[in-house]
Structure 1
């Protein structure tokens, strides 16, 4: 059984946190055929959730976990809150009957052991790291499951996560900190590239408006080309670089082995990687 039919009003999907990421995921699940009657949401912004998801009844949108039915037996519990709020979120669900549930977290840094210590070492836990392009269905998520997650449960988790983009899995949980540093935080690096490119354009004479427009369109267009061209980034870079031309002149700076973009990104990814490990505490 590898579809969403295992999620029913009797054994619903419980979403803790319905902000930008949780809301994007819920929207994707409903589009994939998840019954609106098989969802419970816990989020303090109940009126905003109700406005965004009018097919959910008021009794399905609760401000706090203590309002959940004591007899609730969810099939999946999705923890979509910030790492600093996770202790409170876990405390709110650990009193539920989770014997048949998979607990899926999308919080940076929170390990499988963190959840096992708080919910029980016999519980099925999945740790996942999506990224913000999930908001438009273009994210990429990497998951890691503990041994109590069955193949069918993992398949359903894959379907749930794929509602917002591509999905991959790792067996070694230690790799999740690297995933966080590259793809989880990575969209911010790209947005800053747009900011920096726009500022550089302004400094060589363009108006701020035109520089910003050119930078944003160039980065988003190059990303779309990378997605659709069937060639990797290295080949696409070669394709646009004429010998002794303007692009080569710029790349000589960006690809400098002491001060170039690669050196800076190595430092940036390392900093994010170390912070992700710290968040596990």
Structure 2
């Protein structure tokens, strides 16, 4: 099942993708898709609906994040050995964790805005893990029981803020619009092999990232188990699992985003995102 939310920002309605790739409305069955919707029982109820009887969604409405009310975003850094190498950093022996601000959340096709003073804004296509059941001190053998599904995340990063301004990485990761999520939340039954998903990202039509989850250092089960030993994961929380090589900071010479650029990113079975980069502007 592929869940989505569509409509103007802050007014999104729940929906899903039918067998033909069209959108169907779920408003008669739930007010919204949130963490409360993501339990195994509730997802089973939605999966049992007769999709052909659901109202069609006409046109091409804006897509928001596939679920609302995200409580926290936990990210794993340097989780692809070849990305660690291009970053000039050692391969970690334990997952490197940082957070991404909730205020960075963005729709999968919404504009990405360069922050004020940005010099080195970069791209990162990542597999996202969506938590469906509270996870605290979870063993790896049971980790997937706590996962509601998967999605695409663009972990947009301002490298100068992240690496040259002191302190932790968070200040370069949490700028407004820096977390495009979606287009869909895809339930686990639709993914045959988490360790064989192709990831791609292009900028202005030029392929920059081509990778596979085969080269992840820490897999999904290990990541969920590990994080749950430090932080209680709640339904609706999002984990970003790291990016393959091909980021702008790793290019020779380095290349960064500018207003007018367009990013396209995809993960096999999880759909595609597209964002236009715009200059900073006051939002109040």
Higher relative contact order (CA 8 A, sep 6+): 2
Higher-Rg structure is 1
Into which bin does the TM-score normalised by the smaller protein fall?
under 0.3
Normalising by structure 1, what TM-score?
Answer: 0.24
The structure with more helix, counted as a fraction of residues: 1
TM-score normalised by length of structure 2: 0.24
As a proportion of its length, which structure holds more strand? Answer: 2
